[in-house]
Amino acid sequence: MARIELLPRSYNSYKANLHSHTTCSDGRFTPEQAKEYYKKSGYSIIAYTDHNVLVDHSDLNDESFLALVGLEMDTDSFIYGRKHEFNQTCHLCAIARDPKHAALVSRAERYTGEAISRKIDELHRAGYIVNYNHPAWSCEGSDEFLDYGMFDGLEIYNYSCEVGNNNGESHSEYAMALRMLKHPIRCVAADDNHQSLGCEDDACGGWVVFKAPELSYSAIIKAYDEMRFYASTGPEIKESYIEDGRLIVECSPVRRVHVMSQMIDPIFCDFSPDNDLTRIEVDLKKVPSEARFLWVQLTDGQGKKAWMNPYYLHKE
Ligand SMILES: [Zn+2]
Ligand SMILES: [Zn+2]
C-alpha cells in the first residue's frame, strides 16, 4: 500500500496562532506589534480574530509572515437567552478562506443550538472556516456544543483561558465531540492573546504547526482542510505517516504517548520515565475494527502536550 503522509517531513513547518486580539478590539498590541512579537518568537502566521469586527491585515504580509483574516463571534447567554443562572457563551473563530471576498457576518441573535448551528452554516456559505473556541471557559458542555453542528475545529487548548482562569484545556470536550459528531473535527491550540488581562502574558503558550509547501494563504487553508497540522503547548512533531500497516510519528523527546479512538481506553500507549520517546509505531493490525479514528497525543516531561488531528480510518 502506498505511503499516506499525515505530516510530511518534506514540507515546511509554519507555526501559527489561530486566535488573537489586538487594538481592533480589546487587545493591547496593535496588529503590527503582534506581528513583530510573534515573528520574534518563531511564528509565521497569525489569524487576526478581533471580537465581532472584520479587518483585513493583508498589508502586514511579507515573505516570512502571513496574516489570516477573521473574527471572533460571540453569542452571550446573558443577552441572547439564558438557560442557567450562570452565564454561558458561545465563541466562534471564523477565518476567511479568501481575504478578498471576506464580508462581516453578524452574530447569532439567540443563544440556542439551532440559532448557532444556522449561523455556522451561514459562515460556511460566506467562505469561512469555523473553529469552536474554549468550551471549558465558556461554561459549555456537550448539551450545548453537540447542537452546534458542523464546526470545522475545536480549541482543545486556549492559553489565555489557562493563565487567566485556569481552564485553558478543553480535552474532555474535544474528545466528546470526536466521539459524538461524525464529521472531521480539527484539533486546535491557540493563544487568544489580549496582553491586557492584568495577569501573566497570554502569548506564545498554545499554537498549531502547519505542514505546507509554501507560506501562501491558499496553501495554509489547504493544509487546514487536509488536517495537515498539529496542535501543541510544547512537543514538536517532525513527521507522521502510515506505511506497511503502521502509523509512524517522529517527535521531540516525550514521556507519554496515547493513541485514542472513540473507546474509553487507548488503542496504544507508551511511557518512558526518562522522557526519551522520539518514535511511535502503531501496528494497525492491532487496532479494533470498530475504531473510527486514531488520535495521537504526546506529553513531555514538563507536562506540555501535543495533539495530532484525528486520522479517520473509514470514510465518514
Ligand atoms: Zn473567546
Ligand atoms: Zn478570543
**Burial classification of residue 315, based on how many CB atoms lie within 10 Å of its CB (0-12 exposed, 13-18 middle, 19 or more buried):** exposed
E-only strand ranges, 170-245: 186-190, 207-212, 229-232, 237-243
Confidence of residue 255 (pLDDT cuts 50, 70, 90): very high
Confidence of residue 103 (pLDDT cuts 50, 70, 90): very high
Can you give the pLDDT at residue 299?
98
Cell triple for residue 24?
A: 481592533
What average pLDDT score do residues 219-228 get? 98
- Which ligand lies nearest to the CA atom of residue 21 in the structure? 2
How far, in Å, from the CA of 285 to the mean position of ligand 2? 42
How far, in Å, from the CA of 10 to the mean position of ligand 1? 35
**Burial classification of residue 61, based on how many CB atoms lie within 10 Å of its CB (0-12 exposed, 13-18 middle, 19 or more buried):** middle
How far, in Å, from the CA of 188 to the mean position of ligand 2? 13
Confidence of residue 315 (pLDDT cuts 50, 70, 90): low
Asked if 48 and 68 count as a contact pair (C-beta separation under 8 A), the reply is yes
Its pTM stands at 0.97
**Burial classification of residue 228, based on how many CB atoms lie within 10 Å of its CB (0-12 exposed, 13-18 middle, 19 or more buried):** buried
Mean pLDDT of the chain: 96
- Which ligand lies nearest to the CA atom of residue 202 in the structure? 2
- Which ligand lies nearest to the CA atom of residue 71 in the structure? 2
Of 51-60, 77-86, 183-192, minimum mean pLDDT range:
77-86
Can you give the pLDDT at residue 314?
77
How far, in Å, from the CA of 313 to the mean position of ligand 1? 32
H or E element at residue 298: strand 293-299
Confidence of residue 282 (pLDDT cuts 50, 70, 90): very high
Can you give the pLDDT at residue 82?
87
Bridge partners of 50? none
pLDDT for residue 239 is more than 70: yes
Can you give the pLDDT at residue 132?
98
How far, in Å, from the CA of 134 to the mean position of ligand 1? 7
- Which ligand lies nearest to the CA atom of residue 49 in the structure? 2
Q: What percent of the chain has pLDDT above 90? A: 93
How far, in Å, from the CA of 71 to the mean position of ligand 2? 9
> How far is residue 204's CA from residue 16's CA, in Å, rounded to a whole number?
10
Classify residue 309 by its DSSP letter: P
pLDDT for residue 316 is more than 90: no
Helix (H/G/I), strand (E/B), else coil: 20: strand
CA distances in angstroms from 223 to 125, 212, 248, listed in the order given? 20, 6, 19
Q: For the segment 160-173, what is each residue's pLDDT rounded down to a tens digit?
A: 999 999 999 999 99
> How far is residue 217's CA from residue 69's CA, in Å, rounded to a whole number?
10
How far, in Å, from the CA of 125 to the mean position of ligand 2? 23
Can you give the pLDDT at residue 198?
72
How far, in Å, from the CA of 72 to the mean position of ligand 1? 7
Q: For the segment 41-62, what is each residue's pLDDT rounded down to a tens digit?
A: 999 999 999 999 999 999 999 9
What average pLDDT score do residues 75-87 get? 90
> How far is residue 33's CA from residue 200's CA, in Å, rounded to a whole number?
18
What average pLDDT score do residues 155-162 get? 98
- Which ligand lies nearest to the CA atom of residue 51 in the structure? 2
How far, in Å, from the CA of 175 to the mean position of ligand 2? 22
